[in-house]
Chains A and B, each alone.
Chain A
Amino acid sequence: TQLLEQSPQFLSIQEGENLTVYCNSSSVFSSLQWYRQEPGEGPVLLVTVVTGGEVKKLKRLTFQFGDARKDSSLHITAAQPGDTGLYLCAGHSGGYNKLIFGAGTRLAVHP
């Protein structure tokens, strides 16, 4: 069974601080995705990483896929209150298009 472990589970920081969220597995994934979910809404896709070692940037968010395609990280620079939400990593499980989700990281950014 493929599992994705996310850490930390909770993060409470002040506006302007930097943070990193980790997503780790013992399994190789063909791709990993990061989502952000706000209360009462469905997850919204932020990025998909496919190639080992790949780095993608989305404004203040930097996503990295591990060389072995078993782990990924999300780094947020100068966090803002609008970044508050649940961040989820998810891995594609083979060719069946199933997504395996991590437990999520709940981020709170205080002004």
Chain B
Amino acid sequence: GAVVSQHPSWVICKSGTSVKIECRSLDFQATTMFWYRQFPKQSLMLMATSNEGSKATYEQGVEKDKFLINHASLTLSTLTVTSAHPEDSSFYICSAYAPGQGEQYFGPGTRLTVT
């Protein structure tokens, strides 16, 4: 099956610093990856769509200068939370679209805590 990994699985950082989260498709090439944010006891909210080799498309209300997305290869997308604040604390989940199977496969998530 298609496997998606995320690194780190959890991170604690101080307010004002930047944090990078990696999303990798391990056994397939993903032209499109998605980044979601999930607050406690809530559903997943799509933040942005990341296409390999082009600029990410952000959902309404998501600050593109704060959440920097880079999709440098067909197996790697990164999300950088810049100048993090406590309200950015959340569970960040990525998914990768497998064209051959027509499905999105989700990573295990990254728990970000900003102190």
Contact = CB atoms under 8 A, between A and B. Distances in A.
Interface of A: 33, 35, 40-45, 48, 88, 96-104, 106
Contacts of B32: 97
A107 to B, nearest CB: 13
A100 B43 CA distance: 10
B interface, by DSSP: helix, strand, loop or mixed?
strand
B112 interface: no
B109 A102 contact: no
B109 A99 contact: no
Contacts of B6: 42
Contacts of A100: 46
Chain B contact-residue range equals 20 to 34
A65 B41 CA distance: 26
A34 to B, nearest CB: 12
A88 B43 contact: yes
A42 B32 CA distance: 18
B67 interface: no
B106 A102 contact: no
B101 to A, nearest CB: 10
A106 B106 contact: no
A13 to B, nearest CB: 19
Interface in B1-36: 4, 6, 32, 34
